[in-house]
Structure 1
Amino acid sequence: MLDIVIEARQAAIGPGMQVRRILPFRLRRMVGPFIFMDHAGPVAIQPQAAHDMDVLPHPHIGLSTVSYLFGGQVTHRDSLGVEQIIRPGEVNWMTAGRGIAHSERFEEPAALAGGTLEMIQTWVALPEKEEEAMPSFTNYTADQLPIFTETGVWMRLIAGDAFGLRNGVKTHSPMFYLHVVLEQGARFGLPKEHAERAIYVAKGSIEVAGRTYTVGQMLVFTRGIDPMLVAKEPATLMLLGGEPLGERFIWWNFVSSRKERIEQAKADWKEGRILLPPSDNQEFVPLPEDHSRPAGSPPPQALS
């Protein structure tokens, strides 16, 4: 059966960037190892306002950030010294582990003016034994990510394994992550080999068990249920899930199985012990000071 339908909420990650926030949700914090999901764009602004959209250097611990674009391009810089432009169909996979800082800047005027910039950002929590791993970053090009097609269906495996597909993206726990495009009337199911599974409707609409679901909705399914979905119109979907990792705490950009580790990360960022990107170190996002939120409720996260 359908476990829950999550309605995306509007969130601001900077003066010029509004996103749809899907995870975490108060009634469903995670799906498999996925603990965070934002959908940004399509964005159309004047090129001179691009700096307002930039995500300044900010820290992470205990997770991997996964960046995937439908259109446009973004420049990533991190404290390892990596500078990488990500383009549609590629994956930027950054494992924060014990701590890393990075920025994401929108430096392609044509993509902004043309309204083509659109991206999905997810965070994948790390298993406890990997939470203090050395930070790392890898860009996977589109030709490294297998594509499957059949009548009315196109899909790319972003990470993990599903429907017999695998790729070389390094993951830390059993999971799957797919970009699926359906023509009107096409029928599609979910991979059966994973305990927790969800569908996010990025474009168009689908029907499941006689009900229609549209842009900004995530459908999460109970284990053992194998739904059949039908595209009511051309639709773009993100399918994701995997094995649950157990309880995780999240505060701002920090994820951990231990509350005290998050407190340490706060102090580390405030005291400058998490290094800034060497090629982008003139400004950064300060540690939030928000005393108005209820206990246990995280402040707004940065976009990965």
Structure 2
Amino acid sequence: MTMLKKSNDHICVIGSGIIGSGIALDFALSDYKVKLITRTKESIKKAKRLITDDINFLLKIKKISDNEIKKIKKKIEFSYSIENSVKNSPLIIEAIYENLPDKIELFSKLDKVCNPETIITSSTSSFLPEQFQLSSNRQKNIILTHYINPPYIIPLVEIVPGSKSSDKTISAVYELLKSINKKPVILDKPIPGFISVRLQVALIREALYLIDNNLASAKQIDDVIKYSIGRRWATSGLLKTLDLGGWDVQSNIYKTLVTELSDSKNIPKILKSNLLEKKLGTKSQEGFYKWTPEEIIEIKTNIAKISYYLDKF
């Protein structure tokens, strides 16, 4: 794939949920044309509403100006037709729901209607690139690009090549993401959960273990992260921070505590309970905390402001 030309080429994003709409907006903010493909009139309405809300949010935190709104929206075109939309597009980003058979079926369809050189990526957080490559005739052009929500704020994208992904494909995707101010990380090998989700799940398991065993509350855990390790990790990362403390010290701490940590392979009790009670987080206005619409906006604003500030480091 040659580098996209902002004036001529368009990127296709298939799937108009929170991630798909966020990816489309992210490219539009960097002046790329995007076709956002979905299946129904209702899902297009929902995607337009999501994108409008996100644009208004960016306006509120002064990341964009009033004068830019019309131009940004004009960069995103909505479509029902995969066949018509993907023609001549050098890059397609699949962002449908996490169902492997449906994703593979979509990749198989794209294989038939795309140009031979078109790169197809998946934003999956659950599956591995080989699972898509095996059913495709363009294995060298398939790669994973794992975004973190919200995609237009969080700079990381994990690039996960498969065994058949070509160096040309990896390089093209990497350079494109750099051009929209992302911080892409290319994984050496495809592993379940990549890097980000594995680290997150490890911390979640220990946090929920502490709650299950009445050793700490949700607020105590969040306060400890917010006011200590979270601040250090945000500027220096994990291992660079530990270099500062010295690995002789860290080794002793590790040996003392590692046997005390949870190694459970089961779903924690508190998580099961919350799911049964439909405490799903902000989407149901209650998870570990109760949420008002104003509080949701406030935490999103704080995340965005801190993220943009940290771009300086």
**TM-score, normalization: structure 1?**
0.27
* Larger proportion of strand: 1
Larger Rg: 2
**TM-score, normalization: structure 2?**
0.26
* Larger proportion of helix: 2
